[in-house]
């Protein structure tokens, strides 16, 4: 089965935004066993949209569209869809109620433009959007299914996950594909590839391995397709077991899990608490941890100690050590970890201090010099890292390394 | 003049990488006065590439391709181009010398795969790549120019800037296009559209307006094309001036600026300092602020007070108020703002307290109930907001609203 993706919007064609929706949708479709043949970005223009739909329909069983569905005047997608599918806009009262309820909840006045979003094509199946005002629309023409979604990524993702993917699975007979994504941290791609070379060469016929690296983790994805899900699962189980012998605790989870989620699970299970003291990461570790629902069960808080006086007066770092060794030092980062642990009365703590860049480096401590400390109930470890000169990379990478160090201490 | 972009590579179609090349190229083409009509991503497959080239040629004067030119995948794209342009591969000795020199400089051995990259179509103009081994290729067929480039972003960008854009400007007579992106915060799309309706209806002929909403800002983009850049800039200046009368201080910047960047600029200029006390935003505001290089000049630090005891003992919030009014209340958020301002000895502070969700709501205070307080040298304001039930949305939206409230206090 073949799909195509069409993203609608002049903002893509003038390069004002990067189309990240397509990659997300393509991944989800692939995981469901659907091959994406082409992705096309077209303008907010009736003739252009219709041409793109016609072309895609000759090649694909399923055409997914995003974008061009806002409440304002630059929206011509709905009218074009009515023309293409030979129908007209009608007011859907149930959708109007959804929209009004959403506005009421958010405390916004209900405007004419928004009620217009309850006007939808008569002959489509509406996929309800509970997180925004633009509905999903599901059409059938000849032998092709067409689905239109808003371009706002959060709304599109919710619609896909809750409404569209399940409906696709009902509507098409898809092959059985089993994927397993194994999450690792601590090796870069080439190191890992060397380490597991023998295992990789011995994978059974038809089983594919993909490396998916990012700053937060290195994902390994195994995929195999066939007829029987249980057989495929067993084959993958066997290979995963072998892989564990190579990688040990470098494997931290599966699927879409994150380091912060895994750390949270362990803390919650063991009934332990955590705090962070952050300098170069500027609150990013706290932000990652508190992004997880329920994190208030184990996360007590953080001190972002950007200025040295905060390290001294709030975290109780020794003034003389700050002067003697500098803020980016073993002595200081260890006192930060101990200081926040005592201040917030937690079992564990993370501390970071470094030069995120691009400025602020010295000959002795160039940009990218980072110290991380982890304190536990009866343990204190610290280590220096040398990263690059890109601020965003340094903040994110330091946060991931620190979370992984805490994870390792927790499972010891 | 119209261009199309074709990106070649299975990795895009399985969602493994986000195609960021296209947005970059589209922006450069637009700035040069070339309209990008469509962007298509296709697979590493001869028939698919040829079909895409044929389709693009019917619509565009210029077709830019990237991808499919590595030392391993080289074959398909180059052979396909030879077929399409009715030519054959020949060894280009000058290119071979470039490649060998590059390898020597980087200290790598010269491999057969790499010298094959000096085999290029006989009838194209070669655009030299001094930063990699895959050359740019410039073809003409009927009335369309086709350019093929490697997909590695750094190499593609260098080729475009140094070789291809200048050659395009020589080869075509181009119009002038002027864009201006005006950044606003405080109105949602439909409200803004209502507010500026008269202005929008009165825009001069040929001037286009686009709404580009996100959680962090609502961007308005004006575009116009013509012959004389100065005339067009003047036309846009005039409209922008009128727009300011409608929007006032809801306009916070231009182009790619962020709220945190603008807030930082004002603080730095006025020599003032800032701290944050965050509950429901969990450190996100500190993280946004410290993401800006040089923020240590004005940002002293933050307390993420997730647990109530931290609000009480670190931020000095009254225990009886916490019991009487609850953590999500005017009383508490105001004391948090004052507490962190005093603790960190700053001129300004931001505090947040709310129920980010998805759990934790009560009848009285449902999920999405958020209090924000801003304290200045002699001012304290606070306000309640009612957002939705998506944790990530609530964290990001609350952070943006708080930064905007601080911005407004700073410019008062």
Per residue in B78-94, pLDDT tens? Answer: 999 999 999 999 999 99
Closest Cβ–Cβ partner in B210, B295, B310 for A300: B310
Closest Cβ–Cβ partner in B303, B314, B359 for A294: B359
Within chain A, all domains assigned CATH 3.90.950.20 are found at 259-411
DSSP for residue B191: H
Cβ pair B359:A293 closer than 8 A: yes
Q: Is the CB of A208 inside 8 Å of chain B's CB atoms? A: no
Asked whether residue B74 carries a pLDDT value surpassing 70, the answer given is no
Fold (topology level) of B2-171: Molybdenum Cofactor Biosythetic Enzyme; Chain A (3.40.980)
Confidence of residue B70 (pLDDT cuts 50, 70, 90): low
Q: Which residues in chain B have their CB less than 8 angstroms from residue A310's CB?
A: 300-301, 344
User: What is the per-residue pLDDT for B263?
Assistant: 98
Give residue-wise pLDDT tens across range A197-216. 999 999 999 998 988 888 89
Q: Is the CB of A304 inside 8 Å of chain B's CB atoms? A: yes
Cβ pair A72:B393 closer than 8 A: no
Asked if residues B401 and B368 have their Cβ atoms less than 8 Å apart, the reply is: no
Distance CA A194, CA A211 (A): 13
Distance CA A18, CA A5 (A): 15
Closest Cβ–Cβ partner in A27, A108, A290 for B188: A108
Confidence of residue B298 (pLDDT cuts 50, 70, 90): very high
Asked whether residue A239 carries a pLDDT value surpassing 70, the answer given is yes
The CA angle B215-B219-B221, to the nearest 5 degrees, is 155
Give residue-wise pLDDT tens across range A272-296. 999 999 999 999 999 999 999 999 9
User: What is the per-residue pLDDT for A72?
Assistant: 62
pLDDT mean across residues, chain A: 93
A200-233 b/e (C-beta count within 10 Å ≥ 16 → b): beebeeebebeeeeeebbbbbbbbbeeeeeeebe
pLDDT mean across residues, chain B: 93
Distance CA B23, CA A104 (A): 37
Q: Is the CB of B53 inside 8 Å of chain A's CB atoms? A: no
Nearest CA-CA distance, residue A289 and chain B, Å:
8
Lowest mean pLDDT among A18-32, A249-263, B207-221: B207-221
Asked whether residue B259 carries a pLDDT value surpassing 90, the answer given is yes
- Averaged pLDDT, B65-84: 80
Q: What percent of chain B has a predicted confidence (pLDDT) above 70?
A: 98
Distance CA B319, CA B308 (A): 9
Q: In what order do the strands lie in the sheet with A274-278?
A: A379-386, A369-376, A348-354, A274-278, A299-305, B299-305, B274-278, B348-354, B369-376, B379-386
CATH number of the structural domain B176-254 = 3.30.70.2860
Closest Cβ–Cβ partner in B20, B282, B314 for A291: B282
Distance CA A274, CA A283 (A): 14
Nearest CA-CA distance, residue A238 and chain B, Å:
25
Asked whether residue A40 carries a pLDDT value surpassing 70, the answer given is yes
Half-sphere exposure of A273 (CA within 13 A, CB side): 17
Give residue-wise pLDDT tens across range A214-232. 889 999 989 998 889 999 9
Q: Which residues in chain A have their CB less than 8 angstroms from residue B283's CB?
A: 278, 283-287, 290, 302, 304
Give residue-wise pLDDT tens across range B130-181. 888 889 999 999 999 999 998 888 889 999 999 999 999 999 988 888 889 9
Closest Cβ–Cβ partner in A13, A291, A304 for B301: A304
Q: Which residues in chain A have their CB less than 8 angstroms from residue B20's CB?
A: 18
Confidence of residue A107 (pLDDT cuts 50, 70, 90): confident
Nearest CA-CA distance, residue A395 and chain B, Å:
8
Asked whether residue B197 carries a pLDDT value surpassing 90, the answer given is yes
Task: Name the B residues in 238-297 with CB < 8 Å from any A CB.
Answer: 276, 278, 281-287, 289-291, 293-296
Q: How buried is residue B342: exposed, middle or buried, by Cβ count under 10 Å (0-12/13-18/19+)?
A: middle
Q: Is the CB of A162 inside 8 Å of chain B's CB atoms? A: no
Record the pTM.
0.83
Closest Cβ–Cβ partner in A24, A154, A302 for B15: A24
Closest Cβ–Cβ partner in B26, B40, B390 for A40: B40
Asked whether residue A106 carries a pLDDT value surpassing 80, the answer given is no
Give residue-wise pLDDT tens across range A56-90. 999 999 999 998 777 665 568 999 999 999 999 99
Rg (CA), chain B: 28
The strand pair at B144-149 and B62-66 is best described as parallel
Q: Is the CB of B231 inside 8 Å of chain A's CB atoms? A: no
The CA angle B161-B166-B169, to the nearest 5 degrees, is 130
Q: Is the CB of B43 inside 8 Å of chain A's CB atoms? A: yes
- Averaged pLDDT, A126-130: 92
Asked if residues B313 and A300 have their Cβ atoms less than 8 Å apart, the reply is: no
Confidence of residue A190 (pLDDT cuts 50, 70, 90): confident
Asked whether residue A136 carries a pLDDT value surpassing 80, the answer given is yes
- Residue written as tokens 């996929």? A127
Q: Which residues in chain A have their CB less than 8 angstroms from residue B287's CB?
A: 281-284, 286-287, 395
Cβ pair A392:B291 closer than 8 A: yes
Asked whether residue A113 carries a pLDDT value surpassing 80, the answer given is no
Cβ pair A302:B295 closer than 8 A: no
Q: Which residues in chain A have their CB less than 8 angstroms from residue B344's CB?
A: 307, 310, 314
Confidence of residue B71 (pLDDT cuts 50, 70, 90): low
Closest Cβ–Cβ partner in A27, A70, A293 for B14: A27
User: What is the per-residue pLDDT for A191?
Assistant: 84
Residue of B nearest to A49 (CA): B38
Closest Cβ–Cβ partner in B27, B190, B359 for A15: B27
Cβ pair A303:B301 closer than 8 A: yes
Cβ pair A310:B296 closer than 8 A: no
Distance CA B175, CA B33 (A): 5
Of B90, B409, B193, B314, nearest in space to A339 by CA: B314
Nearest CA-CA distance, residue B255 and chain A, Å:
10
Confidence of residue A110 (pLDDT cuts 50, 70, 90): confident
Cβ pair A48:B38 closer than 8 A: yes
Q: Which residues in chain B have their CB less than 8 angstroms from residue A107's CB?
A: 385-386
User: What is the per-residue pLDDT for A132?
Assistant: 84
Asked whether residue B329 carries a pLDDT value surpassing 90, the answer given is yes
Within chain A, all domains assigned CATH 3.30.70.2860 are found at 176-254
How many contacts does A have with B, using Cβ atoms within 8 A? 280
Asked whether residue A108 carries a pLDDT value surpassing 80, the answer given is no
Asked if residues A183 and A254 have their Cβ atoms less than 8 Å apart, the reply is: yes
Closest Cβ–Cβ partner in B287, B303, B344 for A282: B287
Cβ pair B296:A307 closer than 8 A: yes
Q: Which of A27, A98, A306 to mutate to test the interface with B (most CBs of B within 10 A)?
A: A306
Fold (topology level) of B259-411: Maf protein (3.90.950)
Distance CA B267, CA B299 (A): 9
**Higher confidence at residue A260 or residue A44?**
A260
Asked if residues B185 and B218 have their Cβ atoms less than 8 Å apart, the reply is: yes
């Amino acid at each position: 089965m073949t799909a195509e993706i069409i993203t609608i919007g002049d903002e893509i064609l003038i390069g004002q935004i990067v189309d990240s929706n397509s990659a997300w949708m393509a991944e989800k479709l692939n995981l469901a066993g659907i091959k994406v043949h082409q992705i096309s970005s077209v303008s907010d223009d009736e003739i252009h949209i219709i041409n793109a739909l016609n072309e895609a329909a000759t090649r694909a069983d399923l055409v997914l569209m995003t974008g061009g569905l806002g409440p304002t005047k630059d929206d011509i997608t709905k009218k074009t869809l009515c023309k293409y599918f030979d129908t007209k806009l009608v007011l859907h009262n149930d959708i109007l109620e959804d929209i009004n309820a959403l506005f009421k909840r958010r405390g916004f006045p209900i405007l004419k433009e928004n009620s217009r979003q309850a006007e939808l094509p008569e002959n489509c199946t509406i996929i309800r959007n509970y997180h925004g005002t633009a509905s999903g629309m599901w059409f059938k023409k000849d032998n092709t299914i067409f689905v239109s979604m808003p371009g706002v990524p959060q709304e599109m993702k919710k619609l896909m996950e809750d409404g569209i993917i399940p409906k696709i699975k009902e509507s098409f007979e898809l092959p059985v594909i089993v994927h397993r994504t194994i999450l690792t941290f601590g090796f870069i791609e080439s190191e890992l590839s060397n380490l597991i070379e023998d295992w990789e060469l011995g994978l059974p016929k038809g089983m594919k391995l993909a490396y998916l690296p990012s700053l937060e983790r290195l994902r390994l994805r195994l995929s195999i397709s066939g007829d029987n899900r249980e057989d495929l699962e067993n084959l993958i189980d066997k290979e995963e077991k072998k892989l564990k012998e190579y990688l040990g605790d470098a494997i931290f989870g599966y699927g879409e899990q994150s380091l912060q989620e895994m750390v949270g699970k362990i803390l919650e299970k063991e009934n332990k608490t955590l705090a962070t003291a952050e300098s170069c990461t500027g609150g990013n570790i706290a932000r990652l941890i508190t992004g997880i629902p329920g994190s208030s069960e184990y996360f007590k808080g953080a001190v972002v100690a950007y200025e040295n006086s905060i390290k001294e007066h709030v975290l109780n770092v020794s003034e003389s050590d700050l002067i003697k060794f500098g803020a980016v030092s073993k002595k200081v980062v260890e006192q930060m970890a101990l200081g926040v642990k005592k201040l917030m009365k937690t079992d564990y703590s993370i501390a970071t201090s470094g030069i995120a860049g691009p400025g602020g480096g010295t000959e002795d401590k160039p940009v990218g010099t980072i110290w991380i400390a982890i304190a536990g109930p009866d343990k204190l470890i610290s280590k220096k890292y040398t990263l690059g000169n890109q601020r965003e990379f340094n903040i994110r990478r330091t946060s991931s390394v620190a979370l992984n160090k805490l994870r390792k201490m927790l499972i010891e």
